[in-house]
Structure 1
Amino acid sequence: MFGGGIPFEHFAHGGGGMPGGGRGGGSSEPPETTKLYETLEVEKTSTQKEIKKAYFKLSKIHHPDKGGDEHKFKEINAAYEILSDPEKREKYDKYGLEGVNDGHNYGGGEAEDLFSMFFGGGGRRRSAGPRKSPSLQHAIKVSLEDLYNGKTVKLAINRKVIVGDVKSCDSCGGQGIKLEVRQLGPGMITQVQRQCPDCGGQGNTAKTKSERKVLEVHVEKGMAHNEKITFRGMADELPNMEPGDIHFIIQQKEHDLFRRKGADLLVTKDVSLNQALTGFSWKIKHLDGRDIMIKTKPGQIIQCETTDSESGRTLPFIMMVKDEGMPSQGNPFVKGNMYIAFHVKFPTTLDANVISTLRSLLPDADIEEEYDPEQVEEHFLDEAELKHFGKGGAAVSSNEYDSDDEGGGPQPVQCQQS
């Protein structure tokens, strides 16, 4: 494909002045020194501050978690890693990619030759095995009920598949790149290497057609927000590449009653002072459709607020229903706990003459709900500390995504008067 010579030989600066030693007999053409700046969409004269600003802007747009292209994201990271280092930037400005292609793993992920990363079509060093086409990511919104009970969703995707034979690109001669001549001034020209627009830098072309595929996406019990469900080899087909993967990213919807952290659930409950002192009962519908009755034990008092033993912060009074949280992923029979943060409402006035009959005179006394113990489960509360919230259920291995941002912990609650 390159006539037996060394690919990208024209990048080498003739003679021995190049870092790492030049190769004798090389071309005297100037090296390509603009690709990294173009990747970050900045000028060669940009300051470090401007380069950093451009990097943060582009990395947010092209991050794979936000549906961006993984390869483009690697290019942006590699370009920034080189241009943000004054020494490496100086070498690149003088020698091009040859001056910084030192075997370092730029851009994160698997090691990839810089020439292959930015221009495609075969750099000097190729990683073992065929390259993969870009992976795709799709968000899939699921309810907390779906994550509690598990669910299988059928989703249709459209992908490109190759039809017929793969041919070498006539436009670039199978190299994946084109040389453009630029005039710098009177009598001064330079050659700039560009990715071939006809083959996208692959060096090969092929006819493709759109194929509709229906995938069954299985949401397991206890899966977490931002977790991936991967279908290997289901992305678009490109010439001489393995198809990339399709990742469905779990997006947990907000719930009207429950907030989640790990395998634990949190609910908030307003109670009157009468209920706080003399007891209360509360029937709720759980995520699997069960009606459960939450009750205080006889003589149990609900405090207005409590102080965290470690931080000293004022927190709502917390109680817990054991084993009524989320199922643990991989071991759904082990569940987290259900935490309840109480908010006690105080009356505005209280006659001293009725203190002896406090329970009967306080507003909002608990009304015992009628239910059949044979049909409705009874649960009694245990005292708990908020620092244990999020640690219930079976132990699981660390995940690529941190679920701390799923709902967060409860905010401090102060007693209010009604």
Structure 2
Amino acid sequence: CYRMSNTKLYKTLGVNKNASDAELKKAYRKLAKEYHPDKNPNAGDEFKEISFAYEVLSDPKKRKIYDTYGLKGLQEGGGDGPSFGMNSLFTNLFGNGFFPFETGRQGRQKGPDSYHKLKVTLEDLYNGRTVKLQIDRKVPCETCDGVGGKPGCFIQCVRCEGRGSLTTIKPLGIGMMQQITTTCHECQGEGTIINEKKRCKVCKGKRVSKQTKMLEVHVDKGMKDKQNLLFRGEGDCEPDGIPGDIIIVLETLPHEVFSRHGEDLITVKQISLLESLCGVNMLLHHLDGRVMHIKQPGNIVIGPDAVKLIPGEGMPTYKNPFNKGSLYIKFEVVFPDMHFLNEPELQKLEHFLTAAKSEGFIARKDIQIPQGDHVEEVDLLPFDQENDREAGREKQAWESDDEEEGHHPTCVQQ
């Protein structure tokens, strides 16, 4: 026998040994609210001890065994085996069946992390923005304080006798047998089942309920695509555990004008041939609403695919928003359609271009054409790689020649 007086559980709840059920319940509710993981994340072990003490003392049979035999008697079922499924209770509360008052405290299990995508625009990442995001999470049921029902709602599983598993013997042959252990489907391996009359009507005995919470997400200037924002302790929380984390993943939406490369911004602007030669005068609306007046003098030619930059007009640096990258502008020169000028007009254009005596402008008549039969005048035709069938056949012809040369090396005679 393990006859011994024990008052540890009573002291945990702050009541005397003769406390009534109502006094026990009142003391438990007060302490549970004070040490609940949602309100006091660092008091998880205390919350376990409080829950364990109330689970024992609120059940008349368990309380009697505890008063007579102490914690050891509870572990061994008061000398008559695990009559009340206490092994399963210890495992659920403290892990590995250890007692919180005798073998040290065990770490609580953290809930799973939850990932949520948040779509943001390039303007959001440039200017910063605060977004309210509604999320659903699991928390211990407030109605039953994460117990699952009224005091004493869990009873021993009859099928497995509180063990949580079933053992069967399978004969394999003469003198040979195999022992097979399976999880009890009646109690799902818990060793206890809930009394339907005492089951919590809110959580249905699951000990957790869904809670909707509004998170305030601060998108700071300079944050990047796929950047994670951590909300520690705001995720799902199992009974007697600690909440997991919520991780917000930023997803940048495509922009019509700008593309981002690190701290730099790139935009593509189409200009006419006239603007290419005579100068650019345009407006560009930036991400913060400013209108940028872009001018390029006429004496500086902008060639096709030319790239110009404006320092300090790129994206702000994260956590250092006054430091910005550059804005790059790539110019695409749109040439006029065919036959846009007649011959007299072309001569006038040529006259103006050659009058500048700029290097690179050579009049058509200045070209020295050799004389003789070896000189032949040819015409240029438009080439459309996708639609012109004749051009396609020519393309296949020279591509095949190249392939043959590449795949058949020439044999060199020694």
TM-score normalised by the chain length of structure 2: 0.47
Choose between structure 1 and 2: higher helix proportion: 2
Larger radius of gyration between Structure 1 and Structure 2: 2
Q: What is the TM-score with the length of structure 1 in the denominator?
A: 0.46
